[in-house]
């Protein structure tokens, strides 16, 4: 016991400085922390069924993603940018052929007995001219812009929740259909040229808020039910001076703020018609690629800052990595301006944009933080060979219940 007590400060210090702490998954021990993670894996295709075909072959991309997950071994995981198909074939293949097979540079096979996935708004035709180019639908990017959420086919850039613990599917809440205009203080983007609303009223009243979906997934962990609140808001770019994607990104983030805040919310109804926010005594973890850095890049930063500072969100050190700091400092040395801490970035988006913090794991108060990090090793670390499967990097957090 004295030996463990002596080692604990060293383990926590390693986590704080960005070093990776291997996860004890609880086999042969009692009461391990809950490791929660989010990972934008870029496992998508521009063609319907493309991800299934890739995973049916031998995907070097998927092998790297699986190797990272085998290394980190989260108990509860959100996968962003994982194409949805109604038969769940891609999820089956990824689990059976990649996660359950030891990968080079990874670790032991990894099995998740429980998962949740559902339809998303990306690529689903709206039948409306959402980008105001004079036609509804079309081909390529025009078709994507007029979908409820940008995508070239239904399910592109979907979400997947994987869990070691049972999911209470009867109590899952999804907000795929929630209309943007129902959110209090939602703002119809303004067209600077006409100084009028960008969306005509008949379109504004139909628009969906979530570009993919927002899910409340209750997970029955050994320490009690944890509500896994997951989403992937639209990037606040690829629009015009009306900033329609910037406004939507902010309001997608703000939906979680509303969901956590007490009060009567008859407008906040899920896809089954159940209304209201999260119970005041519920434990939760918010996770996802939220596409908003607190200080850098495009986007309305107040949205993410207000979520980080919500009274129900745990105050804690920001997850860090040595590889992220190395990459961000390289960009700074080349003249790219950056206000945030280089160690806090979670993705590398090229020389014009740089590195930013876009991926979040935000636990509720009532948890104790035992460690955290971003799986982004330095370029001279052997683990760097598996960490480049996506432009985002996995963010993990160890929480005691």
Is 24 domain-assigned? no
pLDDT of 401:
79
CATH of residue 169: 3.60.10.10
In-domain check, residue 237: yes
Does residue 219 fall inside a structural domain? yes
β-strands 190-191, 159-163: how paired?
unpaired
Tell me the mean pLDDT per 10 residues along the chain, length 401: 36 45 58 94 98 98 98 98 98 98 96 98 97 91 95 98 98 98 96 94 97 98 97 96 97 98 97 98 98 97 98 98 98 96 97 96 97 98 97 98 79
Residues spanned by the domain of 89: 31-120+155-400
> Which tokens belong to 20?
């990776």
Q: Please report whether residue 259 resides in a domain.
A: yes
Alpha-carbon distances of 11 from 18, 318, 320, 340, 395, rounded to whole Å? 11, 16, 14, 26, 17
Three-point CA angle 299, 291, 268, nearest 5°: 90
The pLDDT, as a whole number, for residue 26 is: 55
- Say if 338 falls within a structural domain: yes
Residue among 367, 359, 362, 365 nearest 394 (CA): 359
What confidence score (pLDDT) does residue 226 get? Answer: 98
26: left (phi over 0), alpha (psi -120 to 50) or beta: left
Q: How far apart are CA 271 and CA 139, in angstroms?
A: 29
- At which residue do the structure tokens 């400092």 appear? 329
Count of structural domains within the chain:
1
Q: Is residue 150 part of a domain?
A: no
| pLDDT score at 20 | 66
Considering the domain boundaries, does residue 214 fall inside one? yes
Q: Specify if 377 maps to a domain.
A: yes
pTM of the model: 0.93
The confidence score (pLDDT) of residue 23 equals: 80
Q: Residue 358 has what pLDDT?
A: 98
Give strand pairing partners of 355: 348
The pLDDT value given to residue 209: 98
């Amino acid at each position: 016991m004295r030996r463990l007590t002596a080692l604990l400060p060293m383990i926590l210090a390693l986590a704080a400085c960005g070093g990776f702490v291997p996860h004890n998954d609880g086999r042969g021990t009692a009461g391990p922390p809950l490791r929660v993670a989010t990972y934008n894996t870029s496992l998508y295709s521009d063609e319907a069924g493309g991800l299934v075909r890739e995973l049916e072959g031998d995907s070097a991309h998927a092998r790297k993603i699986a190797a990272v997950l085998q290394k980190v071994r989260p108990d509860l995981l959100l996968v962003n940018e994982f194409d949805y198909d109604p038969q769940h074939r891609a999820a089956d293949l990824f689990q059976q052929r990649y996660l359950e097979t030891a990968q080079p540079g990874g670790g032991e096979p990894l099995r998740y007995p429980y998962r949740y996935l559902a339809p998303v708004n990306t690529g689903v035709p709206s039948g409306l001219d959402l980008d105001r180019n004079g036609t509804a639908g079309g081909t390529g990017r025009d078709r994507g812009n007029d979908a409820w959420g940008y995508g070239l086919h239904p399910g592109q850039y979907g979400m997947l929740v994987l869990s070691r613990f049972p999911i209470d599917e009867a109590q899952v809440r999804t907000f795929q259909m929630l209309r943007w205009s129902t959110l209090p203080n939602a703002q119809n983007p303004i067209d600077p040229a006409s100084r009028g609303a960008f969306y005509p009223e008949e379109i504004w009243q139909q628009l969906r808020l979530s570009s993919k979906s927002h899910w409340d997934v209750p997970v029955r962990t050994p320490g009690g039910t944890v509500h896994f609140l997951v989403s992937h808001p639209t990037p606040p770019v690829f629009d015009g001076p009306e900033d329609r994607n910037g406004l939507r990104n902010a309001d997608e983030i703000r939906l979680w703020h509303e969901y956590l805040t007490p009060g009567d919310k008859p407008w906040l109804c899920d896809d089954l018609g159940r209304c209201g926010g999260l119970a005041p005594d519920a434990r939760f973890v918010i996770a996802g690629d939220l596409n908003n850095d607190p200080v850098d890049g495009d986007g309305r930063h107040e949205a993410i800052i207000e979520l980080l500072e919500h009274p129900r969100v745990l105050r804690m050190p920001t997850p860090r990595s040595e590889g992220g700091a190395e990459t961000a400092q390289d960009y700074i040395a080349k003249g790219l301006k950056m206000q945030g801490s280089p160690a806090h970035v979670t993705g590398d988006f090229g020389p014009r944009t740089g590195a930013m913090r876009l991926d979040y794991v935000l636990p509720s108060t009532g948890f104790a933080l035992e460690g955290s990090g971003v799986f982004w090793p330095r370029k001279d670390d052997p683990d760097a060979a598996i960490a480049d499967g996506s432009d985002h990097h996995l963010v993990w957090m160890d929480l005691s219940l």
